[in-house]
Amino acid sequence: MRIRGAVLEEIGRSRPFAQSRPISISDLELDGPGPGELLVRIEAAGLCHSDLSVVDGNRVRPVPMLLGHEAAGRVEALGDGVSDIALGKRVVMTFLPRCGDCAGCATGGRMPCSTGSVANNEGVLLAGGRRLHRDGDDVHHHLGVSGFATHAVVDRRSVVAVESDVPAEIAAVLGCAVLTGGGAVLNAARTTPGDSIMVVGLGGVGMAAVLTAVSLGHGPVIGVDAMPEKLSTATELGATEVYTPAELAERGVRADLVVEAAGNARAFETAVAATAPGGTTVTVGLPNPEARSSISPLGLVAEARTIVGSYLGSALPSRDIPLYAQMWREGRLPVEKLISSRITLDEINRGMDELADGNAIRQVIVFD
């Protein structure tokens, strides 16, 4: 079938992207779903730093690639062997499918699926191969989703069904920002009543961590970011204290759990330094592969502190997405507050500029 989607043509073009236009809006051919796959009509898709990191070259992927990994839509066709999901059902895309058989899948979410990771790096679906084509040439998939398009074919293991009362925009954001930020608080670390929780880096993932921390009601929730506007937003979301990194260091504020969600080396150092004795630093940000940080090993030993790396919030999407949907339904997780703007597919290059400039929490592409 013919679809319309956002294809990254070249990595590392100069800013502003609105002028260099690394992403083209193209007509493509999409194969029908193979065995174990679904055809999904995309309703909404969020712009995330993981998309930007491919555009700017921090994460090198094969191109041309149809971007987008945080999306939701309706099932329109089923491949052979798919019988546990109904046509018309709303589904949330997840960017790390789990094969269910590898050593990573046996860790309860602590480790990524090794099979899914290989497929993502190669730009193919979990079963192998590409379903996207343009002018007779293959187009690579982005993280098994390629959600910046009118339709997508995905592996059944790349989606989680939700009830129709969860709006498409909310459902899309559950698939990455909330899974990652919320999981950093709920899965990667364990907090108890009275514990303070700090989030360093207040983009979409960081703000989702703030929302999740507030929902627990355990203790003070502290937001840290260099941009005053984001500190104001964190306060509106329920953070009890907010600081710039300089203010944080000057005042010596520390917390029992510190989540680093900025994806850069300095932010990681800030998060480690702000972790209280006996506390835990959880890092979910994805910095440039060449980035390096300097921390004191003695501080870890003498203060019995822990550092935890958490990919996708150490999540099991099939378990966690329904949990977050229920928290939203009950009013405990107002995910709609993370959506800073709604854009069209044609505005995606400008949207990447907004993301790179730190002006957006979650921009959501809304499809007709």
pLDDT in tens, the chain (368 residues): 999 999 999 999 999 999 999 999 999 999 999 999 999 999 999 999 999 999 999 989 999 999 999 999 999 999 999 999 999 999 999 998 889 999 999 999 999 999 999 999 999 999 999 999 999 999 999 999 999 999 999 999 999 999 999 999 999 999 999 999 999 999 999 899 999 999 999 999 999 999 999 999 999 999 999 999 999 999 999 999 999 999 999 999 999 999 999 999 999 999 999 999 999 999 999 888 899 999 999 989 999 999 999 999 999 999 999 999 999 999 999 999 999 999 999 999 999 999 999 999 999 999 97
Supply the pLDDT for residue 355: 95
Which residues fall within 8 angstroms of residue 311, CB to CB, at 6 or more apart?
96, 111, 112, 284
Tell whether the torsion through CA atoms of 127, 24, 93 and 36 is positive or negative.
negative
d(CA 178, CA 262): 15
Name the β-bridge partners of 93.
159
Considering only the top CATH level, what class is 2-178+314-366?
alpha beta
CATH of domain 189-309: 3.40.50.720
Give the position of tokens 């990595």.
11
Supply the pLDDT for residue 288: 87
**Strand 275-283 with 306-309, pairing:** parallel
d(CA 368, CA 356): 26
Backbone torsions φ then ψ of 20, nearest 5 degrees:
-75, -25
Contacts 24+ apart (CB under 8 A), 270-275: 270/200, 270/224, 270/245, 271/198, 271/200, 272/299, 272/305, 272/307, 273/249, 274/198, 274/200, 274/224, 274/248, 275/305
d(CA 241, CA 163): 35
d(CA 324, CA 320): 6
Environment class of residue 138 by beta-carbon count within 10 Å: exposed (0-12), middle (13-18) or buried (19+)? Answer: middle
The CA R_g of the chain, rounded to the nearest whole Å, is 20
Supply the pLDDT for residue 90: 98
Which residue ranges make up each domain of the chain?
2-178+314-366, 189-309
Query: Is the distance from CB of 189 to CB of 257 less than 8 angstroms?
Result: yes
Supply the pLDDT for residue 144: 97
Chain-centroid distance of CA 129 in Å reads 24
Virtual CA dihedral for 246, 252, 257, 259, nearest 10 degrees?
10
